[in-house]
C-alpha cells in the first residue's frame, strides 16, 4: 500500500472531497479524512485500514474502548471517530441499518438529494451477493445535461468493495425523465464492461423533480 505522501495531491481524501464531493470517497478514505495523519511508525492509510476493519466488524456499536485497542490510535483520533458516530446516530438514527435492494424504489431514499442538484451527478451504488448496499459514490459531476462516464471510474471501487453488482443513478436537472442517446450508450457500455469482469449492472436509474425512471424497466438494459 502506498503511503499518503506518495499519493498524488489531487487523489488524497480531503482534496477529493473538494473536487468530487464526500460521497466519492471509500470508507477507508473517509477515515483518513477524519483522522488526518498517522503516527511515526504507522502511515495514516495503514491506520485507517485497521480502523475501517474494526468499524465493519462492530458497525455502529463501535466504542471508544474498541478503538483504543488499535496500536497507534491515540485518544484524540479515537475521540474524533466516536464523535462522528454519535453525531450520525443523533441525526440519522436509521443510518446503521442494512439496505437490501430488490426494486428501484429501494435505492431512491439514498439518492433523493440528486433531484435538486443543478449539475448532473453520476452515482454508483455497489451491492453484495445478497443485494445489500456496500457503498454509494459520486463518479462524475457534469455540466447540467452533460456527463462523461468511463467504465474504469465506475468499476474501480466496485472491485475494491468486492461487489457482486452495481446500480448506477444520475439526475436530469432539466426535469425530463426521458433517457438520452448518451444515457443509453453509457448503459450499454457499462453492462458489457461489467459482464467481462463479473460485476452485473442491475439497473441505471434517472431521477429528477418529476420522479424516476428505470432503464431496465423501460427495456433498455
Answer whether residue 203 is part of any domain.
yes
Answer whether residue 221 is part of any domain.
no
Do 110 and 163 sit in the same domain of this protein?
Answer: yes
Answer whether residue 109 is part of any domain.
yes
Last residue of a domain, one of 22, 57, 91: 91
Do 66 and 109 sit in the same domain of this protein?
Answer: no
Answer whether residue 12 is part of any domain.
yes
Predicted local confidence at residue 190, as pLDDT: 95
What is residue 180's DSSP assignment? P
Answer whether residue 220 is part of any domain.
no
Predicted local confidence at residue 10, as pLDDT: 85
Do 145 and 74 sit in the same domain of this protein?
Answer: no
Domain enclosing residue 110, as ranges: 104-214
Last residue of a domain, one of 91, 118, 146: 91
Do 201 and 115 sit in the same domain of this protein?
Answer: yes
Cell for 174? 432539466
Band of the pLDDT at 218, cuts 50, 70, 90? very high
For residue range 18-67, what is the model confidence (pLDDT) as tens digits?
888 887 788 888 899 998 888 888 899 999 988 888 877 765 567 888 88
Do 169 and 196 sit in the same domain of this protein?
Answer: yes
Band of the pLDDT at 149, cuts 50, 70, 90? confident
Q: How far is CA 87 from CA 25, 40, 45, 95, 212, in A?
A: 19, 30, 24, 11, 31
For residue 144, pLDDT over 50 is answered with no
Predicted local confidence at residue 145, as pLDDT: 43
Predicted local confidence at residue 186, as pLDDT: 92
Residues 6+ apart with CB under 8 A from 131: 100, 101, 102, 165
Helices (H) then strands (E): counts for the chain: 8, 5
Band of the pLDDT at 209, cuts 50, 70, 90? very high
Predicted local confidence at residue 96, as pLDDT: 43
Report, as an integer, the average pLDDT of 174-202: 93
Q: What is the CATH number of the domain that holds 193?
A: 3.40.140.10
Total number of domains in the chain: 2
Q: How far apart (Å, rounded) are the C-alpha atoms in residues 124 and 108?
A: 13
Predicted local confidence at residue 98, as pLDDT: 57
Q: How far apart (Å, rounded) are the C-alpha atoms in residues 57 and 60?
A: 9
Do 126 and 77 sit in the same domain of this protein?
Answer: no
Answer whether residue 42 is part of any domain.
yes
Predicted local confidence at residue 159, as pLDDT: 92
Report, as an integer, the average pLDDT of 69-78: 87
Do 75 and 128 sit in the same domain of this protein?
Answer: no
Q: Do the beta carbons of residue 59 and residue 96 sit within 8 Å? A: yes
Do 209 and 132 sit in the same domain of this protein?
Answer: yes
Do 80 and 121 sit in the same domain of this protein?
Answer: no
Do 120 and 188 sit in the same domain of this protein?
Answer: yes
Answer whether residue 24 is part of any domain.
yes
Do 63 and 120 sit in the same domain of this protein?
Answer: no
Locus of grid cell 495523519: 37
Do 77 and 170 sit in the same domain of this protein?
Answer: no
Answer whether residue 219 is part of any domain.
no
Last residue of a domain, one of 63, 91, 119: 91
- Could you tell me the pTM of the whole model? 0.59
Predicted local confidence at residue 119, as pLDDT: 85
Q: How far apart (Å, rounded) are the C-alpha atoms in residues 143 and 117?
A: 11
Report, as an integer, the average pLDDT of 190-216: 95
Higher-pLDDT residue of 92, 23: 23
Amino acid at each position: 500500500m502506498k503511503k499518503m505522501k506518495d499519493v498524488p495531491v489531487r487523489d488524497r481524501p480531503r482534496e477529493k472531497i473538494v473536487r468530487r464531493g464526500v460521497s466519492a470517497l471509500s470508507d477507508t478514505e473517509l477515515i483518513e479524512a477524519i483522522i488526518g495523519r498517522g503516527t511515526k511508525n504507522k502511515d495514516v492509510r495503514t491506520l485507517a485500514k485497521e480502523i475501517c476493519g474494526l468499524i465493519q466488524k462492530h458497525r455502529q456499536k463501535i466504542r471508544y474502548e474498541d478503538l483504543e485497542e488499535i496500536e497507534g490510535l491515540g485518544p484524540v483520533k479515537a475521540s474524533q471517530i466516536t464523535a462522528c458516530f454519535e453525531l450520525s446516530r443523533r441525526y440519522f438514527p436509521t443510518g446503521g441499518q442494512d439496505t437490501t435492494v430488490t426494486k428501484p424504489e429501494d435505492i431512491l431514499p439514498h439518492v433523493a438529494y440528486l433531484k435538486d442538484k443543478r449539475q448532473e451527478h453520476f452515482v454508483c451504488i455497489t451491492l453484495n451477493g445478497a443485494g445489500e448496499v456496500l457503498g454509494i459514490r459520486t463518479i462524475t459531476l457534469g455540466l447540467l445535461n452533460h456527463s462523461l462516464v468511463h467504465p474504469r471510474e465506475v468499476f474501480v471501487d466496485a472491485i475494491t468493495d468486492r461487489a457482486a453488482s452495481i446500480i448506477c443513478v444520475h439526475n436530469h436537472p432539466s426535469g425530463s425523465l426521458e433517457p438520452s442517446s448518451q444515457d443509453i450508450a453509457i448503459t450499454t457500455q457499462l453492462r458489457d464492461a461489467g459482464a467481462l469482469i463479473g460485476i452485473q449492472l442491475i439497473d441505471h436509474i434517472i431521477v429528477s423533480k418529476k420522479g424516476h425512471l428505470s432503464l431496465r424497466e423501460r427495456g433498455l438494459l
